[in-house]
Structure 1
Amino acid sequence: MVGKLGVITLGMFAFGYALVPIYNAICEMTGINVLALAEREVPGARPALPANTQVDRTRSITVEFDVNARGPWQFKPAVRSLQVHPGELNTVMYEFQNVQNRTMAAQAIPSYAPKQSAAHFNKLECFCFNQYTLAPGEKKAWPVAFVIDPKLPKDVTTITLSYTFFEVGGKVPAAPEGHAPQVRAVPAVSLPGAV
Protein backbone atom coordinates (compact mmCIF):
# COMPACT_ATOMS: atom_id res chain seq x y z
CA MET A 1 0.00 0.00 0.00
CA VAL A 2 2.83 2.42 0.86
CA GLY A 3 4.51 1.67 -2.47
CA LYS A 4 1.31 2.47 -4.41
CA LEU A 5 0.87 5.79 -2.52
CA GLY A 6 4.53 6.67 -3.17
CA VAL A 7 4.09 6.03 -6.93
CA ILE A 8 0.90 8.16 -7.00
CA THR A 9 2.64 10.99 -5.12
CA LEU A 10 5.63 10.88 -7.45
CA GLY A 11 3.30 10.86 -10.49
CA MET A 12 1.37 13.89 -9.20
CA PHE A 13 4.60 15.79 -8.59
CA ALA A 14 5.87 14.97 -12.12
CA PHE A 15 2.51 16.01 -13.65
CA GLY A 16 2.53 19.36 -11.79
CA TYR A 17 6.11 20.01 -12.85
CA ALA A 18 5.22 19.24 -16.51
CA LEU A 19 2.16 21.53 -16.57
CA VAL A 20 4.11 24.66 -17.56
CA PRO A 21 5.65 23.19 -20.75
CA ILE A 22 2.34 21.48 -21.61
CA TYR A 23 0.47 24.81 -21.14
CA ASN A 24 2.97 26.68 -23.36
CA ALA A 25 2.72 24.00 -26.07
CA ILE A 26 -1.11 24.12 -26.06
CA CYS A 27 -1.16 27.96 -26.16
CA GLU A 28 1.33 28.01 -29.03
CA MET A 29 -0.70 25.49 -31.07
CA THR A 30 -4.09 27.15 -30.48
CA GLY A 31 -2.94 30.79 -30.39
CA ILE A 32 -4.82 31.42 -27.15
CA ASN A 33 -2.10 33.37 -25.33
CA VAL A 34 -1.30 35.87 -28.12
CA LEU A 35 -0.05 38.60 -25.75
CA ALA A 36 2.59 36.33 -24.21
CA LEU A 37 3.77 35.31 -27.69
CA ALA A 38 4.15 38.94 -28.79
CA GLU A 39 6.17 39.78 -25.69
CA ARG A 40 8.40 36.76 -26.21
CA GLU A 41 9.15 37.69 -29.85
CA VAL A 42 10.52 41.15 -28.96
CA PRO A 43 12.10 40.97 -25.51
CA GLY A 44 12.09 44.21 -23.54
CA ALA A 45 10.05 46.12 -26.13
CA ARG A 46 6.80 47.77 -25.18
CA PRO A 47 3.86 47.12 -27.49
CA ALA A 48 3.04 50.09 -29.71
CA LEU A 49 0.10 52.19 -28.57
CA PRO A 50 -2.74 52.59 -31.03
CA ALA A 51 -2.72 55.89 -32.90
CA ASN A 52 -5.16 58.55 -31.70
CA THR A 53 -7.50 58.84 -34.67
CA GLN A 54 -9.03 62.08 -33.36
CA VAL A 55 -5.83 64.08 -33.91
CA ASP A 56 -5.96 66.11 -37.13
CA ARG A 57 -2.34 66.03 -38.30
CA THR A 58 -3.19 67.84 -41.52
CA ARG A 59 -3.35 71.21 -39.77
CA SER A 60 -1.39 73.08 -37.13
CA ILE A 61 -2.63 75.86 -34.90
CA THR A 62 -0.41 78.35 -33.12
CA VAL A 63 -1.52 78.86 -29.51
CA GLU A 64 -0.12 82.04 -27.94
CA PHE A 65 -0.05 82.42 -24.17
CA ASP A 66 -0.54 85.89 -22.68
CA VAL A 67 -0.80 86.98 -19.04
CA ASN A 68 -1.97 90.04 -17.18
CA ALA A 69 -1.28 90.46 -13.48
CA ARG A 70 -3.42 92.78 -11.38
CA GLY A 71 -1.10 93.32 -8.46
CA PRO A 72 2.55 93.18 -7.42
CA TRP A 73 3.42 89.59 -8.30
CA GLN A 74 5.15 87.71 -11.09
CA PHE A 75 3.06 85.56 -13.41
CA LYS A 76 4.22 84.09 -16.75
CA PRO A 77 3.89 81.05 -19.01
CA ALA A 78 6.87 78.72 -19.41
CA VAL A 79 6.55 79.18 -23.22
CA ARG A 80 5.06 82.07 -25.18
CA SER A 81 3.58 79.98 -28.02
CA LEU A 82 3.10 76.39 -29.09
CA GLN A 83 2.28 74.64 -32.39
CA VAL A 84 -0.49 72.08 -31.81
CA HIS A 85 -2.68 69.76 -33.87
CA PRO A 86 -6.45 69.75 -33.24
CA GLY A 87 -7.42 66.78 -31.07
CA GLU A 88 -3.95 66.49 -29.52
CA LEU A 89 -3.46 66.70 -25.74
CA ASN A 90 -1.01 69.48 -24.77
CA THR A 91 0.25 70.80 -21.45
CA VAL A 92 1.77 74.19 -20.68
CA MET A 93 3.16 75.26 -17.31
CA TYR A 94 2.57 78.69 -15.78
CA GLU A 95 4.91 80.12 -13.15
CA PHE A 96 3.73 82.35 -10.33
CA GLN A 97 5.50 84.07 -7.45
CA ASN A 98 4.05 86.14 -4.65
CA VAL A 99 6.59 88.96 -4.30
CA GLN A 100 4.57 90.73 -1.62
CA ASN A 101 5.44 90.61 2.06
CA ARG A 102 2.03 89.20 2.96
CA THR A 103 -0.05 86.11 2.25
CA MET A 104 -2.50 86.51 -0.59
CA ALA A 105 -5.31 84.59 -2.28
CA ALA A 106 -5.58 84.86 -6.05
CA GLN A 107 -7.38 83.44 -9.06
CA ALA A 108 -6.97 83.60 -12.83
CA ILE A 109 -9.69 84.28 -15.37
CA PRO A 110 -9.11 83.09 -18.96
CA SER A 111 -10.08 84.82 -22.19
CA TYR A 112 -9.66 83.75 -25.81
CA ALA A 113 -9.05 85.43 -29.14
CA PRO A 114 -10.62 85.06 -31.62
CA LYS A 115 -13.88 84.81 -29.74
CA GLN A 116 -15.20 81.75 -31.64
CA SER A 117 -12.18 79.69 -30.48
CA ALA A 118 -13.46 79.68 -26.86
CA ALA A 119 -16.05 77.00 -27.67
CA HIS A 120 -13.33 74.77 -29.17
CA PHE A 121 -10.60 75.24 -26.51
CA ASN A 122 -11.19 72.44 -23.98
CA LYS A 123 -9.18 72.64 -20.76
CA LEU A 124 -8.88 69.31 -18.94
CA GLU A 125 -6.77 70.71 -16.12
CA CYS A 126 -6.26 74.37 -15.31
CA PHE A 127 -5.16 76.47 -12.36
CA CYS A 128 -7.99 78.84 -13.29
CA PHE A 129 -10.50 76.33 -11.86
CA ASN A 130 -9.47 77.17 -8.28
CA GLN A 131 -8.34 79.96 -5.98
CA TYR A 132 -4.87 79.67 -4.47
CA THR A 133 -3.33 81.05 -1.29
CA LEU A 134 0.37 81.84 -1.43
CA ALA A 135 2.71 82.80 1.39
CA PRO A 136 5.11 85.77 1.01
CA GLY A 137 7.80 84.90 -1.57
CA GLU A 138 6.20 81.53 -2.39
CA LYS A 139 6.67 80.20 -5.95
CA LYS A 140 4.33 77.81 -7.72
CA ALA A 141 4.13 76.20 -11.15
CA TRP A 142 0.69 75.23 -12.43
CA PRO A 143 -0.27 73.21 -15.53
CA VAL A 144 -2.86 73.88 -18.18
CA ALA A 145 -3.76 70.69 -20.07
CA PHE A 146 -5.88 71.37 -23.13
CA VAL A 147 -7.23 69.92 -26.36
CA ILE A 148 -8.40 71.98 -29.31
CA ASP A 149 -11.53 70.52 -30.85
CA PRO A 150 -10.96 69.37 -34.46
CA LYS A 151 -14.28 71.09 -35.32
CA LEU A 152 -12.54 74.46 -34.95
CA PRO A 153 -13.16 76.43 -38.17
CA LYS A 154 -10.35 75.96 -40.70
CA ASP A 155 -9.78 79.72 -41.04
CA VAL A 156 -8.60 79.94 -37.39
CA THR A 157 -4.84 79.36 -37.43
CA THR A 158 -3.87 81.26 -34.26
CA ILE A 159 -5.52 81.25 -30.83
CA THR A 160 -4.47 83.54 -28.00
CA LEU A 161 -5.14 82.26 -24.49
CA SER A 162 -4.88 85.12 -22.04
CA TYR A 163 -5.11 84.91 -18.26
CA THR A 164 -5.79 87.83 -15.94
CA PHE A 165 -4.52 86.99 -12.46
CA PHE A 166 -6.02 89.05 -9.65
CA GLU A 167 -6.17 89.01 -5.88
CA VAL A 168 -9.32 87.60 -4.32
CA GLY A 169 -10.63 89.47 -1.29
CA GLY A 170 -8.14 92.29 -1.77
CA LYS A 171 -8.92 95.92 -1.16
CA VAL A 172 -11.02 97.56 -3.86
CA PRO A 173 -9.55 100.93 -4.90
CA ALA A 174 -11.67 103.92 -3.91
CA ALA A 175 -13.55 105.87 -6.58
CA PRO A 176 -11.75 109.02 -7.78
CA GLU A 177 -12.57 112.20 -5.82
CA GLY A 178 -15.34 114.37 -7.25
CA HIS A 179 -16.68 111.65 -9.51
CA ALA A 180 -19.41 110.21 -7.34
CA PRO A 181 -21.68 107.96 -9.38
CA GLN A 182 -24.98 109.54 -10.27
CA VAL A 183 -28.11 107.50 -9.72
CA ARG A 184 -31.12 108.36 -11.80
CA ALA A 185 -34.59 107.40 -10.72
CA VAL A 186 -36.54 105.51 -13.36
CA PRO A 187 -40.25 106.29 -13.34
CA ALA A 188 -42.54 103.33 -12.78
CA VAL A 189 -44.58 102.32 -15.83
CA SER A 190 -47.87 100.55 -15.44
CA LEU A 191 -48.85 98.11 -18.11
CA PRO A 192 -52.44 97.64 -19.19
CA GLY A 193 -53.95 94.59 -17.54
CA ALA A 194 -51.30 94.48 -14.81
CA VAL A 195 -52.56 94.05 -11.28
Structure 2
Amino acid sequence: MSLNRLVTRLLLLTAVMFAFGFALVPIYDVMCRAFGINGKTGGQYEGSQVSDPSRAVRVQFMSTNAGDMSWEFHATADQIQVNPGAVNQMVFVARNPTSKPMSAQAVPSITPAEAAAYFHKTECFCFTQQVLQPGERIEMPVRFIVDRDLPGSVKHLTLAYTLFDITARHPPVAPAATQAAR
Protein backbone atom coordinates (compact mmCIF):
# COMPACT_ATOMS: atom_id res chain seq x y z
CA MET A 1 0.00 0.00 0.00
CA SER A 2 1.38 3.35 -0.97
CA LEU A 3 1.85 6.14 1.52
CA ASN A 4 -0.60 8.39 -0.35
CA ARG A 5 -3.40 5.77 -0.16
CA LEU A 6 -2.74 5.24 3.53
CA VAL A 7 -2.85 8.98 4.28
CA THR A 8 -6.05 9.35 2.21
CA ARG A 9 -7.76 6.49 4.05
CA LEU A 10 -6.69 7.82 7.44
CA LEU A 11 -7.97 11.31 6.61
CA LEU A 12 -11.26 9.87 5.37
CA LEU A 13 -11.58 7.78 8.54
CA THR A 14 -10.86 10.87 10.67
CA ALA A 15 -13.55 12.87 8.83
CA VAL A 16 -16.13 10.08 9.28
CA MET A 17 -15.32 9.79 13.00
CA PHE A 18 -15.59 13.57 13.42
CA ALA A 19 -18.99 13.64 11.67
CA PHE A 20 -20.22 10.70 13.75
CA GLY A 21 -19.26 12.59 16.93
CA PHE A 22 -21.54 15.47 15.94
CA ALA A 23 -24.38 13.07 15.06
CA LEU A 24 -24.29 11.33 18.45
CA VAL A 25 -26.07 14.09 20.40
CA PRO A 26 -29.24 14.24 18.25
CA ILE A 27 -29.27 10.43 17.93
CA TYR A 28 -29.01 10.11 21.72
CA ASP A 29 -31.89 12.58 22.28
CA VAL A 30 -34.12 10.78 19.78
CA MET A 31 -33.39 7.40 21.34
CA CYS A 32 -34.00 8.69 24.89
CA ARG A 33 -37.34 10.22 23.94
CA ALA A 34 -38.41 7.17 21.93
CA PHE A 35 -37.59 4.65 24.65
CA GLY A 36 -38.05 6.81 27.78
CA ILE A 37 -34.40 6.33 28.70
CA ASN A 38 -32.77 8.63 31.24
CA GLY A 39 -36.12 10.03 32.40
CA LYS A 40 -36.60 12.28 29.38
CA THR A 41 -40.16 13.54 29.51
CA GLY A 42 -42.63 13.83 26.68
CA GLY A 43 -41.93 17.57 26.57
CA GLN A 44 -44.52 20.27 26.06
CA TYR A 45 -47.96 18.87 25.42
CA GLU A 46 -50.33 20.59 23.07
CA GLY A 47 -53.14 18.00 23.05
CA SER A 48 -56.25 17.91 25.17
CA GLN A 49 -57.57 14.95 27.09
CA VAL A 50 -60.60 14.14 29.15
CA SER A 51 -59.82 13.32 32.76
CA ASP A 52 -60.22 9.72 33.94
CA PRO A 53 -61.71 10.05 37.46
CA SER A 54 -61.83 6.26 37.89
CA ARG A 55 -58.04 6.09 38.11
CA ALA A 56 -55.58 7.79 40.46
CA VAL A 57 -51.82 8.08 40.09
CA ARG A 58 -49.54 9.34 42.84
CA VAL A 59 -46.99 11.91 41.66
CA GLN A 60 -44.08 12.48 44.03
CA PHE A 61 -41.89 15.59 43.79
CA MET A 62 -38.19 15.69 44.54
CA SER A 63 -35.77 18.57 44.31
CA THR A 64 -32.01 18.51 44.68
CA ASN A 65 -29.19 20.93 44.14
CA ALA A 66 -26.14 20.09 42.09
CA GLY A 67 -22.94 20.08 44.14
CA ASP A 68 -22.08 23.76 43.66
CA MET A 69 -25.63 25.18 43.97
CA SER A 70 -26.39 26.98 47.24
CA TRP A 71 -30.03 27.94 46.67
CA GLU A 72 -32.85 26.68 48.85
CA PHE A 73 -35.09 24.68 46.50
CA HIS A 74 -38.19 22.59 47.20
CA ALA A 75 -41.74 21.76 46.13
CA THR A 76 -44.64 23.07 48.22
CA ALA A 77 -45.86 19.47 48.68
CA ASP A 78 -44.11 16.11 48.64
CA GLN A 79 -46.77 14.40 46.50
CA ILE A 80 -50.27 14.66 45.05
CA GLN A 81 -52.85 12.25 43.66
CA VAL A 82 -53.83 13.00 40.05
CA ASN A 83 -56.30 11.61 37.56
CA PRO A 84 -54.82 10.79 34.15
CA GLY A 85 -55.88 13.36 31.57
CA ALA A 86 -56.40 16.16 34.12
CA VAL A 87 -54.29 19.33 34.19
CA ASN A 88 -52.32 19.53 37.45
CA GLN A 89 -50.02 22.08 39.03
CA MET A 90 -47.25 22.02 41.60
CA VAL A 91 -45.30 25.05 42.79
CA PHE A 92 -41.59 24.90 43.50
CA VAL A 93 -39.90 27.55 45.62
CA ALA A 94 -36.34 28.78 45.20
CA ARG A 95 -34.43 31.30 47.29
CA ASN A 96 -30.96 32.72 46.77
CA PRO A 97 -29.42 33.00 50.28
CA THR A 98 -26.09 34.30 48.95
CA SER A 99 -24.87 37.89 48.72
CA LYS A 100 -24.54 37.80 44.92
CA PRO A 101 -26.93 37.49 41.96
CA MET A 102 -27.04 33.97 40.54
CA SER A 103 -28.41 32.17 37.47
CA ALA A 104 -29.80 28.64 37.63
CA GLN A 105 -31.26 26.00 35.33
CA ALA A 106 -33.43 23.10 36.48
CA VAL A 107 -33.18 19.74 34.74
CA PRO A 108 -36.17 17.37 35.16
CA SER A 109 -36.37 13.61 35.13
CA ILE A 110 -39.23 11.14 35.51
CA THR A 111 -39.19 7.69 37.06
CA PRO A 112 -40.05 5.02 36.27
CA ALA A 113 -38.48 5.61 32.85
CA GLU A 114 -41.32 3.76 31.07
CA ALA A 115 -43.73 6.48 32.27
CA ALA A 116 -41.69 9.43 31.00
CA ALA A 117 -43.38 9.41 27.59
CA TYR A 118 -46.77 9.77 29.33
CA PHE A 119 -45.83 12.81 31.42
CA HIS A 120 -46.45 16.10 29.60
CA LYS A 121 -45.37 19.47 31.00
CA THR A 122 -47.49 22.34 29.66
CA GLU A 123 -45.69 24.99 31.71
CA CYS A 124 -42.38 24.59 33.51
CA PHE A 125 -39.69 26.75 35.05
CA CYS A 126 -37.21 24.26 33.59
CA PHE A 127 -37.85 25.68 30.10
CA THR A 128 -36.00 28.92 31.05
CA GLN A 129 -33.07 30.01 33.17
CA GLN A 130 -33.88 31.50 36.55
CA VAL A 131 -32.06 34.58 37.87
CA LEU A 132 -32.33 35.57 41.51
CA GLN A 133 -30.82 38.56 43.26
CA PRO A 134 -29.31 38.19 46.77
CA GLY A 135 -32.03 37.10 49.22
CA GLU A 136 -34.68 36.93 46.48
CA ARG A 137 -37.34 34.19 46.59
CA ILE A 138 -39.45 32.98 43.69
CA GLU A 139 -42.39 30.62 43.27
CA MET A 140 -42.15 28.59 40.08
CA PRO A 141 -45.14 26.57 38.86
CA VAL A 142 -45.04 23.42 36.80
CA ARG A 143 -48.26 22.40 35.06
CA PHE A 144 -48.54 18.89 33.77
CA ILE A 145 -50.80 16.16 32.47
CA VAL A 146 -50.34 12.47 33.09
CA ASP A 147 -51.53 10.90 29.85
CA ARG A 148 -54.59 8.65 29.96
CA ASP A 149 -52.56 6.07 28.02
CA LEU A 150 -50.18 5.60 30.98
CA PRO A 151 -49.90 1.81 31.48
CA GLY A 152 -52.22 0.58 34.22
CA SER A 153 -49.31 -1.03 36.03
CA VAL A 154 -47.83 2.42 36.77
CA LYS A 155 -49.46 3.79 39.90
CA HIS A 156 -46.64 6.05 41.10
CA LEU A 157 -44.45 8.59 39.27
CA THR A 158 -41.61 10.71 40.59
CA LEU A 159 -40.86 14.10 39.05
CA ALA A 160 -37.38 15.10 40.14
CA TYR A 161 -35.56 18.35 39.44
CA THR A 162 -31.87 19.02 39.85
CA LEU A 163 -30.95 22.69 40.07
CA PHE A 164 -27.62 23.71 38.53
CA ASP A 165 -25.64 26.90 39.09
CA ILE A 166 -24.98 28.37 35.63
CA THR A 167 -23.81 31.80 36.81
CA ALA A 168 -20.33 31.37 35.33
CA ARG A 169 -21.71 30.55 31.87
CA HIS A 170 -24.70 32.94 31.97
CA PRO A 171 -23.97 35.87 34.29
CA PRO A 172 -27.17 37.44 35.66
CA VAL A 173 -28.15 40.89 34.46
CA ALA A 174 -28.65 43.49 37.18
CA PRO A 175 -32.26 44.64 37.69
CA ALA A 176 -33.32 47.74 35.72
CA ALA A 177 -33.61 49.87 38.90
CA THR A 178 -29.98 49.07 39.83
CA GLN A 179 -28.72 49.85 36.33
CA ALA A 180 -30.60 53.19 36.23
CA ALA A 181 -28.99 54.26 39.53
CA ARG A 182 -25.51 53.85 38.06
TM-score tier after normalising by the smaller chain length: 0.5 to 0.7
Report SS of the residue matched to 2:55: coil
Q: How many residues align?
A: 120
Question: 1:64 aligned to 2:60?
Answer: yes
Q: CA separation in 2, counterparts of 1:53 and 1:152? A: 13
* Residue of structure 2 aligned with 1:170, choices 168, 174, 177: 168
Between the two proteins, what is the percent identity of the paired residues? Answer: 38
Report SS of the residue matched to 2:53: coil
Once the 2 structures are TM-superposed, how far is the Cα of residue 169 of structure 1 from its aligned partner? Answer: 3.8
Report SS of the residue matched to 1:118: helix
Q: Which has the higher contact order (CA 8 A, sep 6+)?
A: 2
Structure 1 stretches lacking a partner, 5+ long: 1-51, 172-195
Report SS of the residue matched to 1:86: coil
Give the TM-score normalised by the residue count of structure 1. 0.59
Report SS of the residue matched to 2:100: coil
Cα 1:57/1:169, change in 2 over 3 Å: same
Give the TM-score normalised by the residue count of structure 2. 0.64
Greater helix share, structure number: 2
CA contact (8 A) 2:76 2:90 kept: yes
CA contact (8 A) 2:49 2:148 kept: no
Q: CA RMSD for the aligned pairs?
A: 1.5
Once the 2 structures are TM-superposed, how far is the Cα of residue 53 of structure 1 from its aligned partner? Answer: 7.1
Larger radius of gyration: 1
Cα 1:53/1:75, change in 2 over 3 Å: closer
Cα 1:103/1:149, change in 2 over 3 Å: same
For residue 117 of structure 1, what is the aligned residue in structure 2? Answer: 115
For residue 190 of structure 1, what is the aligned residue in structure 2? Answer: none
Cα 1:64/1:53, change in 2 over 3 Å: closer
CA contact (8 A) 2:103 2:131 kept: yes
Alignment-mate amino acid for residue 138 of structure 1: E
Q: CA separation in 2, counterparts of 1:53 and 1:101? A: 45
Once the 2 structures are TM-superposed, how far is the Cα of residue 170 of structure 1 from its aligned partner? Answer: 3.2
Q: CA separation in 2, counterparts of 1:111 and 1:53? A: 23
For residue 37 of structure 1, what is the aligned residue in structure 2? Answer: none
